[in-house]
Structure 1
């Protein structure tokens, strides 16, 4: 069950949708030990004026650099992920699309294999302790005897796979919790999407061009994700999600 926290949120009634965007790039020869604040700044991947948000993690299997503006970069063998909270930002203000493109430009010989644009949306249910669970088990799934088994209400998640013209899109829907500053929590739904692009079967130059185009088109993926979540899943649930909105 996913958990997140936002110190800027004060009361349950103020909680609104929390969104995050991640851009993950896979390649044969990504080395986590190369990821550091110095490397990112010396290569021009991130601006020199960016300051660390917390102590970096550096290791052979995982390295992470987090900046004060909310951008986090995580490197693992064969994969590097750029993450950023959307919050109140206009999508055009997000940093990671440009940072991911800079990374590809600076390390053009990394033998790239794939690209994933992964938006997340955390939808609170402040008025109902079981609202998120009931949404999955009673709205998305048909009620039946399978729900009435065991000594506690059944928990469920949903994994969906869509074939789009440009790529394959997967969407998972699960229960989550939003952790409040006073240590209380609010039930929520986590929508996690993945737009997966396979680029590894082309020539090196074609791979780079396709990879950059996929990164540059990130806003279309985010827009499609938001439309699917808000219009095709939650359009009939707005009053229960945000009473009085």
Structure 2
């Protein structure tokens, strides 16, 4: 069986001080050239003094709170070079040069399906990623475990969460999966507003390198120990959102 990493979506989070959620509206985005004028909303926007969210018919979503702006794009069957939200995030921050942006998070969510056994994902985590011991033998069923890892890379830190889950397909078929949620964190630096904006934009430019790092660590470090074929990173992949994942625990 050929195991396959399915990367669902790219999520960019930009932390900011005193960001008004009321800024986020279709007119502002279109008039500022942040998004094309022909983009259509998929549903009515949410907007109040503490939160705003716009969902577009192409699957892209943007939300805003007082301390951050979140840009979400499903990868679906898109080619990597066609993803748009890093550029949208850059234009958004360019349109608000006096905003106090503090940090950038570049996040990816993906999973590997384990077909053949209802507990295959749990077995992979417990037997392959964890050392055996009496602590795993307590209780009437195999223990459910998750891992939170922090990698110190030369350009930034990379946080990776590994969890067991279930993928509920359209036909109600349940497939066990191991979820991999990765986050690359960048601080905005500089003395002047122009320097800080430049630092922020440089961080956004790392998204493709971060995606490759995320994919390489999972395929070449995690899945290489499996007694299946090496995980394959597809050119086009499936979708969802970082706050919750579209799987059932």
TM-score past 0.5 threshold: yes
- Aligned mate of 1:126, from 115, 119, 126: 115
Cα gap change, 1:60 to 1:123, in 2 (>3 Å): farther
**CA contact under 8 A between 1:127 and 1:240: conserved in structure 2?**
no
Cα gap change, 1:133 to 1:61, in 2 (>3 Å): farther
Q: Which residue does 1:5 correspond to in 2?
A: none
CA distance in 1 between partners of 2:111 and 2:146 (Å): 14
Greater CA deviation, 102-111 or 17-26? 17-26
Cα gap change, 1:239 to 1:197, in 2 (>3 Å): same
Shift of 1:227: 0.7
CA distance in 2 between partners of 1:202 and 1:138 (Å): 50
Q: Which residue does 2:144 correspond to in 1?
A: 155
CA distance in 1 between partners of 2:144 and 2:106 (Å): 28
Cα gap change, 1:179 to 1:61, in 2 (>3 Å): farther
**CA contact under 8 A between 1:112 and 1:200: conserved in structure 2?**
no
Q: Which residue does 1:4 correspond to in 2?
A: none
1:158-183 C-alpha deviation (Å, 9 max, x unpaired): 00011111111111101122121123
Shift of 1:157: 0.5
CA distance in 2 between partners of 1:153 and 1:54 (Å): 43
CA distance in 2 between partners of 1:199 and 1:109 (Å): 14
**CA contact under 8 A between 2:224 and 2:230: conserved in structure 1?**
no
Between Structure 1 and Structure 2, how many residues are aligned? 230
**1:95 and 2:84 are equivalent in the alignment:** yes
Q: Which residue does 1:78 correspond to in 2?
A: 67
- Aligned mate of 2:130, from 111, 117, 141: 141
CA distance in 1 between partners of 2:105 and 2:5 (Å): 26
Q: Which residue does 1:198 correspond to in 2?
A: 187
1:20-72 C-alpha deviation (Å, 9 max, x unpaired): 11111011021122222222222221111111122322233322111111111
CA distance in 2 between partners of 1:17 and 1:81 (Å): 22
5+ residue gaps, structure 2, are: 232-249
**CA contact under 8 A between 1:29 and 1:77: conserved in structure 2?**
yes
Partner of 2:214, secondary structure, is: helix
Q: CA RMSD in A?
A: 2.2
**1:232 and 2:182 are equivalent in the alignment:** no
Higher RCO (CA < 8 A, seq sep 6+): 2
- Aligned mate of 2:54, from 65, 71, 74: 65
- Aligned mate of 1:48, from 28, 37, 40: 37
CA distance in 2 between partners of 1:199 and 1:124 (Å): 36
- Aligned mate of 2:177, from 162, 178, 188: 188
CA distance in 2 between partners of 1:121 and 1:48 (Å): 31
Please, what TM-score do these two structures have when normalized by structure 1?
Answer: 0.86
